């Protein structure tokens, strides 16, 4: 297994399935009375350039469940790459803690932390990918359908970091991935080209569409995310003019399978990318998905830190 958790693409299908199986086992163990303190004495440093609800709480509580501790480091305390070089930060922290989780803007920052730190580094989100979210997403999908093979997963909206990691994990685990997004809001071409041979190997189909109604036909999963991500606020007016046809509403959901589930990484801008009727409706799995961040990340923490 790898020393770091930086991108879904770095892991084999077998390794990803192992993480999912471990996450499910840790969830079951927790629900039966609590997890074993396998990370007793271990400390995780959590570096945040972006604010967070789910990432901070799930990692902090996850470490607590496993017997360890987590230390929150705000943007002002670190000044990643500004107040102090990333190389120096990595080498300082490796003498204090056993692992680093970083939620950053630039993907290069998390890669550089991993380059310089001798301890495990976890990508808690970057502008390129969100592997922790994808792991929780697939755990939620697996719990609902009992498999990942041959499922139709449709992402509706901006081809952002969440879409990239979702595409990667679908390709690795044999789920068909479809995205419907407006012109000029495609996923990075490099991410698509890298995934194509992986999908071919697993038998997963990749589809890149403009029409959301075509995209959700026969979908087991409909996934959406905010139209404007953190750091893109100056584009919000432009985006709000382009994305309304991509709203996940009752009509769109009705065009998918009867057993479809709707996912959203949250926070949701209700009335924009998703309606209240869907977010709170019978097909919604938004909150089980959010809760699964805790258990998926415990699997990552267990795997990376247990023997460090």
Domain 133-289 sits in CATH 3.30.450.20? no
Where are the extended beta strands (E) located within 181-260?
A: 206-209, 221-224
pLDDT at residue 175 in the model: 98
Tens of pLDDT, residues 23-42: 999 999 999 999 999 999 99
Task: Name the nearest CA neighbour of 65 among 236, 296, 266, 287.
Answer: 296
pLDDT at residue 89 in the model: 94
Cα–Cα distance for residue pair 61/30, rounded to 1 Å: 12
Sign of dihedral through CA atoms 25, 30, 34, 36? positive
Which residue in 103, 220, 239, 264 is the catalytic one?
103
pLDDT at residue 233 in the model: 81
Q: Identical fold at 8-130+293-305 and 133-289?
A: yes
**At residue 235, does pLDDT exceed 70?**
yes
Q: Which residue has the tokens 């086992």?
A: 25
Q: Looking at the chain, list the stretches that DSSP marks H as alpha helix, in order from N- to C-terminal side.
A: 13-31, 54-65, 75-78, 86-93, 107-116, 131-145, 161-173, 189-202, 212-215, 236-242, 250-254, 276-279, 286-305
Which residue in 4, 7, 137, 225 is the catalytic one?
225
31 is catalytic: no
Cα–Cα distance for residue pair 77/48, rounded to 1 Å: 10
Domain ranges (residues) in the chain: 8-130+293-305, 133-289
265 is catalytic: yes
Cα–Cα distance for residue pair 17/92, rounded to 1 Å: 34
pLDDT at residue 283 in the model: 98
What's the pTM value of the predicted model, to 2 decimals? 0.97
Which residue in 265, 272, 295, 297 is the catalytic one?
265
Tens of pLDDT, residues 161-214: 999 999 999 999 999 999 999 999 999 999 999 999 999 999 999 999 999 999
Query: Between helices 286-305 and 13-31, what is the axis angle to 10°?
Result: 110
For residue 16, how far is the Cα from the chain centroid?
13
Q: How long, in residues, is the chain?
A: 308
> Quick one: how many helices (H) and strands (E) in the chain?
13, 9
**At residue 43, does pLDDT exceed 90?**
yes
Tokens linked to 223: 């996934």
Class of domain 8-130+293-305: alpha beta
Tokens linked to 235: 């584009």
Average pLDDT, the chain: 96
């Amino acid at each position: 297994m790898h020393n770091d958790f930086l991108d879904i693409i770095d892991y084999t299908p077998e390794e990803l399935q192992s993480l999912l199986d471990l996450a499910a086992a840790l969830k079951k163990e927790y629900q039966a009375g609590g997890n074993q303190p396998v990370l007793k004495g271990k400390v995780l440093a959590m570096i945040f350039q972006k604010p967070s609800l789910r990432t901070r709480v799930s990692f902090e509580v996850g470490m607590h469940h496993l017997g360890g501790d987590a230390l929150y480091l705000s943007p002002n305390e670190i000044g990643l790459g500004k107040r102090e070089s990333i190389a120096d930060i990595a080498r300082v922290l490796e003498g204090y803690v056993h692992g680093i989780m970083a939620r950053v803007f630039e993907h290069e920052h998390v890669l550089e932390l991993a380059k310089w730190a001798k301890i495990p580094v976890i990508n808690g989100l970057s502008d390129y990918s969100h592997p922790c979210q994808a792991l929780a997403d697939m755990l939620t999908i697996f719990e609902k359908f009992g498999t990942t093979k041959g499922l139709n997963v449709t992402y509706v909206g901006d081809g952002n970091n969440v879409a990239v990691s979702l595409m990667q994990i679908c390709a690795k685990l044999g789920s068909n991935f479809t995205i419907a997004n407006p012109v000029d809001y495609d996923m990075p071409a490099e991410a698509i080209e890298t995934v194509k041979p992986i999908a071919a190997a697993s038998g997963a189909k990749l589809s890149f569409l403009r029409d959301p109604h075509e995209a959700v036909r026969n979908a087991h999963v409909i996934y959406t995310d905010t139209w404007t991500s953190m750091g893109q606020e100056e584009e919000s007016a432009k985006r709000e003019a382009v994305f309304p046809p991509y709203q996940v509403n009752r009509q769109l959901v009705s065009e998918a399978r009867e057993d479809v589930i709707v996912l959203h990484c949250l926070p949701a801008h209700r009335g924009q990318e998703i309606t209240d009727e869907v977010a709170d409706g019978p097909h919604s799995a938004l909150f089980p998905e959010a809760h699964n961040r805790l258990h998926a990340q415990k699997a990552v923490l267990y795997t990376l830190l247990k023997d460090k």
